[in-house]
Amino acid sequence: MMQTPTLALTHARVLTPHGWRDDLAVLLDGALIAALLPHDDPRVQQGAQHDLGGARLLPGFIDTQVNGGGGVLFNDAPTVESIRRIGAAHRRHGTTGFLPTLISDDADTMRAALQAVEQALAEGVPGVLGIHLEGPYLAPARKGVHDPKFFHAPGRDELAWLCAPHRGVRLLTLAPEQVPPADIAELAAAGLIVCAGHTAADYATTRAALAAGVRGFTHLFNAMTPLGSREPGVVGAALDDAHSWCGLIVDGHHVHPASLRVAIAAKPRGKLLLVTDAMPPVGSDDPQFILNGEAITIRDGVCQTAQGVLAGSALDMAGAVRNAVQLLGLPLDEAVRMASTYPADFLGLGASHGRIAAGYQADLVALDDDYRVLHSWIGGEVS
């Protein structure tokens, strides 16, 4: 028999794995969802109740690409405190799970970032699920705002500490033409999620990398070879492959909405996920930050250098969900799954995160009709 729940979330429009329900309360037992029950079930009345007043109750958003937030850039201070501040900034916008993302840097900074995430996971810092290393094994021709002085192919020593046993998720973005398939296979065998990004690879090289263990594509369309009539490029390989996942930055600036709609039509359902590629201004009043010694400023909602090069985004996950509905015409439930359920599946966490169902982590967000976050829960703790 189920014990008395610690909290019942009532009178919400709940997004369950089977669709919207207006007649269910979500019962929490500590860090987990205990049950979904009708409001008139006696067990709903036994514990404390939180009346959500008709708000939408959603699985918490999971962002796999978070460079910064709250005025902090992870590269500048790869510490537990930075991770805590970045997570708190994004939580205000519905993100209950995230990967602090390190942009291409030197080996000492990479090691510090890996250690900081290990420690953050050990301490239970809210929301942190692992780390995303975006580089430095990237292509100069598709560098974006990354500093190419850090670019190189991984040596045996780097492969050893990247593949060492670790807590949480490790996601690595690399250019397939810069890393031999055997090394990609070694990284994948060690449990890393390997993605292609910032790459000038052709279609054949990308297909070989997929066969070796690449599981996804970092910010599809951006910083990669485009789909062409005779050379499908990285984008063509991504859209042609039924098994890989693709991250999408839906901010109205990185990718034209029509291109995003083409990708959604091409890929099987469940293989596209919303990401922010967020920079320090998210959750901060400061519109400027420094990256690789260069001032980056938000202008008209776009993070860019003085030369107009995109440098991450000022996007948050609630905004990404809103844009997926308003710019792409997606139903809200599918936009939410792209922000929660599908990222959880991509990260190998689909049995514990990304759904409102009994036994799942109580990571939730309550959203009003204007996509404003009213409340969020991480492990059953409300904010």
Task: Write out the catalytic residue numbers.
Answer: 277
- Tell me which CATH homologous superfamily contains domain 61-346: Metal-dependent hydrolases (3.20.20.140)
The CATH class of 7-58+358-382 is: mainly beta
> How crowded is residue 285: how many other Cβ atoms within 10 Å of its Cβ?
6
Up-side HSE of residue 259: CA atoms within 13 Å toward CB?
17
CB-based contacts of 358: which residues, under 8 Å, 6+ apart? 33, 34, 35, 36
| Rounded CA separation 23/30 (Å) | 23
Residue pLDDT tens, the chain, 383 long = 455 568 999 999 999 999 999 999 999 999 999 999 999 999 998 879 999 999 999 999 999 999 999 999 999 999 999 999 999 999 999 999 999 999 999 999 999 999 999 999 999 999 999 999 999 999 999 999 999 999 999 999 999 999 999 999 999 999 999 999 999 999 999 999 999 999 999 999 999 999 999 999 999 999 999 999 999 999 999 999 999 999 999 999 999 999 999 999 999 999 999 999 999 999 998 888 988 888 888 888 888 898 888 889 999 999 999 999 999 999 999 999 999 999 999 999 999 999 999 999 999 999 999 999 999 999 999 99
Reported pTM? 0.97
Handedness of CA 145, 102, 195, 92 (dihedral sign): negative
Residue with tokens 């070989």: 208
Report whether 310 contacts 144 (CB < 8 A).
yes
| Rounded CA separation 332/15 (Å) | 10
Q: Which amino acid is at 77?
A: A
Residue-range domain boundaries for the chain: 7-58+358-382, 61-346
| Rounded CA separation 361/57 (Å) | 14
Helices (H), the chain: 42-46, 80-91, 107-123, 156-162, 181-189, 203-212, 233-240, 257-266, 317-326, 332-339, 341-346
Could you tell me how many helices (H) and strands (E) the chain has, helices first? Answer: 11, 23
